[in-house]
Amino acid sequence: MSVVMHESLATDVKNRPAYSPGLEGVIAGESALCLVDEGEVGLLYRGYPIRDLAEDGTFEEVAYLLLFGHLPNQKELEDFSAQLTEHAVLPHLLEVFLGAVPSSAHPMDIVRTGVSLLGMVDPDAADHSRAANVRKSFRLLAQLPMLIATSYRLVNRKPRVRPREDLSFAENLLYLLTDRKGDDQAKAMARVLDVSLTLYAEHEFNASTFAARVTASTMTDLYSAITSAIGALKGPLHGGANEAVAEMFLDIGSRERAETWVREALAKRRRIMGFGHRVLKKGDARSAIIQRHAESLSGICGDRRWYEIATAVDHVMEQEKGLHPNLDFYTAVAYLQMGIPRPLYTPVFVCSRITGWCAHVIEQQDHNRLMRPRALYTGPSKREYVSINRRA
């Protein structure tokens, strides 16, 4: 562990260098991928407003944008989608691994270990060039839905299904996880899932992305960096919020119970998940987008229970705490409507954020400098060593 060894640091607070707990507000690098702004600019992916991308684009277009820096034309998009279809196959080593996974394994542990194993068998494993990293990103994006769905189906003794060439990325993901496809409700669900994937795809230097960039700064392979990101995302202070929100809605059960439930929870100083953001203090612009889609999907599915519970909780939290919902809050409504298994909410997040992670790894290594911060020493001043036979 690195420490700043200077006696005055332990005794003279005024001479201590600037310190921000959790690196809050600290500029730790440069990136052309994402602007997170609370003003009129809002959230931009490579200059494009998130609202435009979510409402008018597709997740495949956003993935292409993040990896290549520009939106694809029709041929580029078709070629990109064809490559995703081609690579949506798990290597034999992964099949063996998934067949041996215990039923008690955490889904994020399976994803983390599965991605690490993919790094062993990737045909570009020994090639760390930019072009090879882009190809690895394609394969990861294509294989992750298969990894997540196959492991879940094996553990729960459900028949396996293969992705279909006639379905989009979001349609295939919904099909792999829920068996839903084709009908009007399934199409509406897939559209909202596509929007959520776009909204989750990238968000600057969050904990998992920063973990990936720190790892990538050593010039290790892309899979090692992505494994670091997944490990960081597993932590409850970063990932799993939409899962926790869904569990809260299930516990509340009805709109009539919502206000009392929240006020009692607040009285007991329990944390209400899905509110507030470390950076977005004035509210999350993505939340309004997914809220509209969650409401629309609730109407299409003929079940407004979860949405009504959510709006009731939202109202109380604004009234009592002045807090606004973040992206995870109304996403939980949408995922409940879709019937996505709750333990898979965070792995679904990985299916989206893998695009941002990979783009950050590539960007970091294109303009690399090893990340090596310093620590503010808070231990005792210099002490005299005493031999063991003289110690009390």
Which one from 203, 277, 324, 360 is the annotated catalytic residue? 277
Per the prediction, the chain carries an average pLDDT of: 92
Residue 79 among the catalytic residues: no
Mean pLDDT value of segment 61-67: 98
Mean pLDDT value of segment 313-328: 94
Q: DSSP letter string over 101-164?
A: --TT--HHHHHHHHHHHHHHH-TTTT--SHHHHHHHHHHHHHHHHHHHHHHHHHHTTPPP----
Phi-psi region of 283 (alpha: psi -120 to 50; beta: other; left: phi over 0): left
Token pair for residue 171?
Answer: 């349609």
Residue 328 among the catalytic residues: yes
Domain range 34-236+345-366, its CATH number among 3.40.50.1470, 1.10.580.10, 1.10.760.10, 2.40.10.120: 1.10.580.10
Q: What is the pLDDT of residue 11?
A: 44
Token pair for residue 341?
Answer: 């298994």
Which of 306 and 392 is assigned the larger pLDDT? Answer: 306
40-44, 89-93, 169-173: least confidently modelled range: 40-44
Of the chain, the end-to-end C-alpha distance in Å amounts to 29
| Cα–Cα dist 47/279, whole Å | 19
Q: Which of 88, 303, 287 is nearest to 188 (CA)?
A: 303
Q: Residue 28: pLDDT above 80?
A: yes
Mean pLDDT value of segment 286-302: 96
The owner of tokens 């944390």 is 271
Measured CA to CA in angstroms, residue 175 lies from 86, 182, 339, 369 at distances of: 17, 9, 11, 42
For the entire predicted model, the pTM comes to 0.92
> Do the first three CATH levels of 34-236+345-366 and 241-338 match, i.e. the same topology?
no
Domains of the chain, residue spans = 34-236+345-366, 241-338
9-23, 71-85, 286-300: least confidently modelled range: 9-23
Phi-psi region of 274 (alpha: psi -120 to 50; beta: other; left: phi over 0): left
What pLDDT digit, counting tens, does each position of 208-242 carry?
A: 999 999 999 999 999 999 999 999 999 988 888 99
Q: Residue 284: pLDDT above 50?
A: yes
Mean pLDDT value of segment 109-133: 95
Task: List the alpha helices (DSSP H) in the chain.
Answer: 7-11, 50-56, 59-68, 74-86, 92-100, 107-121, 130-155, 169-178, 184-200, 207-216, 222-234, 241-252, 255-267, 285-301, 305-321, 327-338, 345-366
Q: What is the pLDDT of residue 9?
A: 41
Q: Residue 326: pLDDT above 50?
A: yes
Which one from 122, 194, 328, 360 is the annotated catalytic residue? 328
**Fold classified for 241-338:** Cytochrome p450-Terp; domain 2 (1.10.230)
Measured CA to CA in angstroms, residue 191 lies from 64, 169, 247, 297 at distances of: 18, 10, 24, 9
What pLDDT digit, counting tens, does each position of 241-256 carry?
A: 999 999 999 999 999 9
Residue 74: pLDDT band (50, 70, 90) is very high
Q: What is the pLDDT of residue 37?
A: 83
What pLDDT digit, counting tens, does each position of 336-363 carry?
A: 999 999 999 999 999 999 999 999 999 9
- Return the DSSP state at 35: E
